[in-house]
Structure 1
Amino acid sequence: MNKKLHLQELGLRDYKETWDLQEDLFQEILDTKIKNRREETSINTQNHFLFVEHPHVYTLGKNGDIKNLLLSEDQLKEKNASFYPINRGGDITYHGPGQIIGYPILDLENFFTDIHRYLRTLEEVIILTLKDYGLKPERSEGETGVWLDVGTPFARKICAMGVRASRWVTMHGFALNVNTDLGYFDHIVPCGIKDKAVTSLQVELGHKVNENELKTKIKANFEKLFEAKFV
């Protein structure tokens, strides 16, 4: 099993351009798996991890409700934001500058073949990372992602997650609000959940956060929990 992760730091990159890159890497892994089964070969499948930030964009998962986008086409243009219906799970979310996004494109047969465990492990990567900053992050039952103050009137989401998987190959991933302009969340019903707020690491700590330092912590926790190695 190949547990190496090819890391790409993409910086600020257009959503559609990054989605196309994900699809290409995803298909390469699938093609290798299909070739191995058809020809009874044993070529190692590759694993990839993309770190990226996007210009303002709203994305709607395949099971989402377009009514959760509260802006018209003209209003989207006024906000300098784009919109894409996409092929991950989950409802609507926002991506923008100051948000750290991680897209693991993995062959889970290199790790473990359990989508539920995969999502919980991704959540745990973020939970351990946020604990390094003195926060008390947790899961909210029945709601994917990472939250603060679950079970109180002040529950708020700090990290959204949504994935696609086929033949145990994953794409899409997590979006962690770090130094994010949270005002953009006012124009959607985030993840289709009406009664809970969103927050960012900057808001919780009261100061801007070093994003490179944060990504280093995420990588270390990812390597630990997935028993993987970034290359």
Structure 2
Amino acid sequence: MVEVYDLGLITYEQGQKKQEEIYKYVLNNKQIDGVLIFLEVDPVITTAYSSERGEVIFSKKQLCERGIRSVQVDRGGKTTLHGPGQLICYPILNLERFGKDLHKYLRNLEEVVINILKELNIDSGRKDKYTGVWIGEEKICAMGIHIKKWITTHGIALNNDIDLSLFDSIIPCGIKDVGVTSIKKLDIEVEMSILKEKFVENFNKVFY
């Protein structure tokens, strides 16, 4: 089974530092399957390898006025946003122990989130050509990963009770004409601690 680290609410940079530490730990201890890192961060836009100009709508001044920072990260996917009330999970896994199949890994992560939402009586699913978990035309969970030496980093961001107006500053995941939603927007309230427990339970069911 994987180990679990809960970092709570920290800065994005602190989260990245811990992720790199855990990556080295998993890389150098091939007898373990991996580690799940849970965290929340203050408002930050992350742009990725394939992000395109125009995906960040607000100017630097507008972002600063709203207390939003922007950072470049080493993951796949497009531009996204993180903030308090969003459950971020970084699975740092040794895929040599789960099968060297990136497509299957992504689908499994989606399945974990879909199962969690089902337990909350929320009907969600996948969307053709896009990663992540959707409710109709609105994304509730974004995904972006990086893999080096078959060890995974980065992961998923599930919107629980995050301020959805923060997403007005970007084109989420570079996809126009679709929206974002959250568990709270669906009139369901759930403690973050409960979501973390459900994530671990469903991760173990899907991956094992």
Percent of aligned pairs sharing the same letter? 40
Give the whole-Å Cα distance in 2 for the aligned partners of 1:221 and 1:46.
16
- After TM superposition, list the pairs within 5 Å mapping 1:143-158 onto structure 2: 143-149=130-136, 155-158=137-140
Q: Deviations over 1:156-195 (max 9, x none)?
A: 1000000000121100000000011000001100000011
Give the whole-Å Cα distance in 2 for the aligned partners of 1:215 and 1:136.
19
1:53 to partner: Cα distance: 0.5
Runs of 5+ consecutive residues of structure 1 not aligned to the other structure: 34-42, 150-154
CA contact (8 A) 2:85 2:163 kept: yes
1:28 to partner: Cα distance: 3.6
Give 4+ residue runs of structure 1 displaced > 2 Å after superposition: 27-30
Q: Residue 84 in 1 paired to residue 71 in 2?
A: yes
Give the whole-Å Cα distance in 1 for the aligned partners of 2:185 and 2:103.
30
Matched residue, 1:216: 197
Identify the match of residue 141 of structure 1 among 100, 117, 128.
128
CA contact (8 A) 1:56 1:82 kept: yes
Instruction: Give secondary structure in 1 for the equivalent of 2:141.
Output: strand
CA contact (8 A) 2:146 2:153 kept: yes
- Measured on the aligned residues, the alpha-carbon RMSD in Å equals 1.4
CA contact (8 A) 2:26 2:35 kept: no
CA contact (8 A) 2:26 2:151 kept: yes
Instruction: Give secondary structure in 1 for the equivalent of 2:200.
Output: helix
Pairs aligned (count): 208
Identify the match of residue 175 of structure 1 among 157, 170, 175.
157
Identify the match of residue 110 of structure 2 among 123, 137, 154.
123
Matched residue, 1:38: none
Give the whole-Å Cα distance in 2 for the aligned partners of 1:222 and 1:215.
10
Identify the match of residue 38 of structure 2 among 43, 51, 64.
51
Instruction: Give secondary structure in 1 for the equivalent of 2:161.
Output: coil
Instruction: Give secondary structure in 1 for the equivalent of 2:67.
Output: coil
- TM-score computed with the length of structure 2 as normaliser: 0.95
- After TM superposition, list the pairs within 5 Å mapping 1:21-32 onto structure 2: 21-30=18-27, 32=28
Runs of 5+ consecutive residues of structure 2 not aligned to the other structure: none
Give the whole-Å Cα distance in 2 for the aligned partners of 1:83 and 1:180.
17
1:46 to partner: Cα distance: 5.5
Q: Structure 1 stretch 60-69 or stretch 176-185: which is displaced more?
A: 60-69
Gap change, CA 1:112 and 1:89, over 3 Å in 2: same
- TM-score computed with the length of structure 1 as normaliser: 0.86
Give the whole-Å Cα distance in 2 for the aligned partners of 1:76 and 1:181.
15
